[in-house]
Amino acid sequence: MGLQVRFTDELRSLAGAKWEAVINHRFTDALAAGTIDRDVLARYLVQDHRFLDSFVVLLSSMVAAAPSLAARIPGCQFLALITGRENTYFERSFAALGVDDAARESAPDTAPTVAFKALMRDAAKATYSEMLAVLVAAEWSYQSWGERVLPAAVQEPFTSREWVDLHSGEYFGSVVEYLRGLLDEAAATMTPAERAAVEVRFLAAVDIELAFFDAAYEDS
């Protein structure tokens, strides 16, 4: 590869200021500091958990579409994490924040949640590269803020700490590198039209990530 720029670096450059706005959002600073308003965090988690199912559909679809067993294995392990440890984080956090089932169920989907579900479900039926574009945008942006705030992250409450830990560190870094690697590899044989479709998916995901953080500060 030498001095060649990675395709996924080009995608990030395309997102420009939007990418920076996502990874430097005040939500993540307040989360890491443990000073985040409980209602803001509760609103965020209720909505985030809403598209976990669509995320699993997208990731499992990518695993099925990947070109080899080696390319599938890390995806399978990550599927187990997000439906295991990450899912229990949500359950424990809702209990700690006093969000009961009725409150969770009665909150309407916010506009970014509706958009995320649609993007993930739609990408899951599109090409392998488009699936990866959405996965890379979501996980890489989260890792980027996770690593950024990690040095300042407090130990308690666990609602803050575990959400930072789930999105930083060696294991999560390996997941992001894995997803980026698959997309970089796929880029080598993309037609211009396929590449354009991938860019559209990536930029759409970054836009929604930003709107999603913003929405946590809007009373529903």
Summarize the annotated binding site for substrate as residue ranges: 48, 86, 139
**Contact residues for 118 (Cβ-Cβ < 8 A; gap 6+):** none
Binding to its own copies (CB under 8 A) within 144-203 occurs at none
Q: How far is the CB of 81 from its own copies (least distance, A)?
A: 8
Binding mask 33-52 for its own copies (x = CB under 8 A): -------------------x
Q: How far is the CB of 182 from its own copies (least distance, A)?
A: 14
Report the C-alpha gap between 212 and 194 in whole angstroms: 27
Closer residue to its own copies (CB): 38 or 85: 85
Closer residue to its own copies (CB): 19 or 55: 55
- Tokens for 90? 């949500």
Interface with its own copies (CB under 8 A), residue from 14, 33, 80, 95: 80
Stretch that binds its own copies, among 4-12, 36-44, 68-76, 205-213 (CB under 8 A): 68-76
Contact between 69 and its own copies (CB under 8 A)?
yes
Q: How far is the CB of 125 from its own copies (least distance, A)?
A: 10
Residue with tokens 């700490």: 161
Report the C-alpha gap between 50 and 70 in whole angstroms: 30
On whether the CB atoms of residues 177 and 201 are closer than 8 A, the answer is no
> 151: which DSSP letter?
G
Is 194 catalytic? The answer is no
Among candidate residues 177, 201, 165, 205, the one with its CA nearest the CA of residue 81: 165
Q: How far is the CB of 122 from its own copies (least distance, A)?
A: 13
On whether the CB atoms of residues 152 and 33 are closer than 8 A, the answer is yes
- Tokens for 185? 């590899």
Interface with its own copies (CB under 8 A), residue from 6, 21, 34, 60: 60
Q: State whether residue 3 is helix, strand or coil.
A: coil
Helices 111-123 & 52-65, crossing angle to 10 degrees?
20
Catalytic residues: 209
- Summarize as ranges the residues that interact with its own copies (CB under 8 A): 52-53, 56-57, 60-61, 63-64, 68-69, 72-73, 75-77, 79-80, 82-84, 87, 124
